[in-house]
Amino acid sequence: MHNSISLKHLYYCIPISLRDGGVNISMSVFYITTPIYYPNARPHIGHAYTTVFADTLARYHRMIGDDTFFLTGTDEHGLKLQRAAEKKGVDPKTFVDEMVVYYKEYWKLLNISYDWFIRTTDDYHVHTVEKMISELHRKGLLYKDRYSGWYCASCEKYYSETEYEVVDDKPHCPIHKKPLEWLEEETYYFKLSEYRDFMLDVLEKTEIVYPKSYAVEVANRLKKEGLRDVSIARPKERVSWGVELPFDREYTVYVWFDALLNYISAIGYPDDLQRFNHYWPAAHHVIGKDILWFHTVIWFSVLKALDIPLPKKVLVHAFLVNRGIKMGKSAGNVISIEYMVDRYGVDGTRYILMRLMNMAKDVDVTQELFDNVYNTELADVYGNLIRRVGVLVKRKLKGRLEPTSVEQGIAEAIENALDSYSKEMERFDVSRALGTAIELLRKGNAYVNETKPWQQSDPSKSLYTLAELIRAATVMLHPVIPSTTSRTAESFGFPITTPKELRLGENGYTVKESPILFKKTG
Ligand code: ME8
């Protein structure tokens, strides 16, 4: 899986005319990214929420045949990492080298099918950062001046008076609830203020930011507060851990500018434009709402300044909240990935996170909620139907189902479910897409109760109908619970096809086993 980059690289070495045997195959391209996480601590289920979501969309797009590229990685420079390393008494590179291993391990554990893992300390990325900052300098979009303001190192961000919270007369970070630091220094500014009108146009007239409510939120802030130039460098004596400014070695590049460029450096910008131009128009950035401003106002303005088109979509989701506060290390309310995997298994964890996925609203998580989703949907509905039908086919029909017609009402339900599923996935509503699969499976369980195949002398039609329903629902669940669905497909003897190619009444089944897929908790 993680080697696929080398295959793709090879592909780009082949002249276009020879690719695909010279035949013009029209294939959609899908490029999806997660934020690159700060490896100052291990990831928790908040990070998994974003990463599994991106993975689900990547798996769905691969399943329907799109040329998919899925990028994740780590954001390794800046004050936050410099301090985390200092605290441990090691140099920053040693520190991030150790920490990045955890990220890779957790993503492996959660079956994250990324195609490339970018580290901002990788040479090719540093090279892109140097080139891009020099380009902005060359274009006259940077200038040197004094900066003073309140800074949160955890966010790597300055906070204005309208943004910070005052606790005991002192400015505090609204996210981390910690006191802000006062900073005053000479820096380089990027002329962000020149992009106010451009940004308003993008936010108000395009559909790039999804859901749209987030675009409205940023647009309102721009109208209310205007747009000020942003400091894009740090004096090296304070922040030494970063990419040096090529035109002034006394400074390092601001970590957010460095980080955002990962989305283009990872696909070859600026040295491999052919590769870049292939993926970039299909770019989808998945982010949490905490980094919305950076991924709209800052990122879009930087792209505009560099004459690079904007990404296709920025998919923004809300927070997982625990005991009323956004889950996060500094809040001390983190639920670990291990805990989830121990209790619900890998696919159980992935399913719960995706079923709770909410772009617009924060989700207050509790064990009761997780248990409820897991037990009432995975165990009672999907697991139960597989077990019942598997046992019946083996007992009544010696495990073999020949193709026959599917009960009309159920055939219609399957077609409708597949159709709504695809629509929901195309509009990134993974939770509702899962809901359509579960609804269909509920119909399957009800159909077993109504038709009572165990009482029929020849239950072939009922059981075939159920096997077809299971096959369709399994395809639908596949991007979210790939190991479990593969086991179902293996046990019942069917291939996982695309939802659109799934034709009813043609596939025969040989049921090898009737597995218990999920053990109930509680
Ligand atoms: O911001 N609920 O990295 P980060 C939902 N390095 N999502 C959550 C979450 C929660 N409680 N906690 C974390 C950074 N996340 C930068 C990004 S990108 C160019 C640079 C997820 O390690 C969510 O996606 O702080 C959020 O945006 C991200 O983790 C922040 O990760």
Joined together, the tokens standing for residue 394 give: 């083996």
CATH architecture, domain 7-137+256-363: 3-Layer(aba) Sandwich (3.40)
What ligand 1 atom has the least distance to the C-alpha of 327? 11
Collapsed DSSP state (helix, strand, coil) of residue 508: coil
Does the global pTM surpass 0.85? Answer: yes
Active-site annotation holder among 173, 278, 289, 295:
173
241 alpha carbon – ligand 1 mean position (Å): 21
Residue 305 scores a pLDDT above 90: yes
Q: For 180-237, what is each residue's pLDDT tens digit? A: 999 999 999 999 999 999 999 999 999 999 999 999 999 999 999 999 999 999 999 9
Contact status, residue 114 vs residue 2, Cβ threshold 8 Å: yes
Residue 521 scores a pLDDT above 50: yes
Residue 522 is predicted with a pLDDT of 79
Cα torsion 294, 158, 254, 299 to 10°: value is 10
Joined together, the tokens standing for residue 311 give: 């990404």
What ligand 1 atom has the least distance to the C-alpha of 289? 27
Q: For 138-151, what is each residue's pLDDT tens digit? A: 999 999 999 889 99
Residue 358 scores a pLDDT above 90: yes
Residue 12 scores a pLDDT above 60: no
Please work out whether the CB of residue 258 comes within 6 Å of at least one atom of ligand 1: no
Q: For 486-511, what is each residue's pLDDT tens digit? A: 999 999 999 999 998 899 999 999 99
Please work out whether the CB of residue 154 comes within 6 Å of at least one atom of ligand 1: no
Residue 461 scores a pLDDT above 50: yes
Residue 270 scores a pLDDT above 50: yes
Q: What is the 3-state secondary structure (H, E, C) of 491-506?
A: HHCCCCCCHHHCCCCC
Active-site annotation holder among 77, 80, 137, 152:
152
Q: What does the buried/exposed string (b/e) look like for 58-83 if buried means 16 or more CB atoms within 10 Å of the residue's CB? A: bbbbbbbebbbbbbbbbbbbbbbbbb
DSSP string, 460-480: HHHHHHHHHHHHHHHHHHTTT
Domain 141-231 part of CATH 2.40.10.10: no
Please work out whether the CB of residue 318 comes within 6 Å of at least one atom of ligand 1: no
Q: For 415-453, what is each residue's pLDDT tens digit? A: 999 999 999 999 999 999 999 999 999 999 999 999 999
CA distance 393 to 467: 9
392 alpha carbon – ligand 1 mean position (Å): 47
Active-site annotation holder among 77, 155, 443, 478:
155
CA distance 250 to 242: 11
CA distance 505 to 247: 68
Please work out whether the CB of residue 38 comes within 6 Å of at least one atom of ligand 1: yes
Look at ligand 1, atom 7, and give the residue with the nearest C-alpha: 46
Residue 2 is predicted with a pLDDT of 40
CATH number for the domain running over 366-510: 1.10.730.10
The domain locations on the chain are: 7-137+256-363, 141-231, 366-510
Pocket test residue of 32, 36, 49 for ligand 1, highest count of atoms within 8 A of CB: 49
Residue 176 is predicted with a pLDDT of 85
Mean pLDDT of the 287-312 span = 98
Residue 27 is predicted with a pLDDT of 74
Share of the chain above pLDDT 90, in %: 89
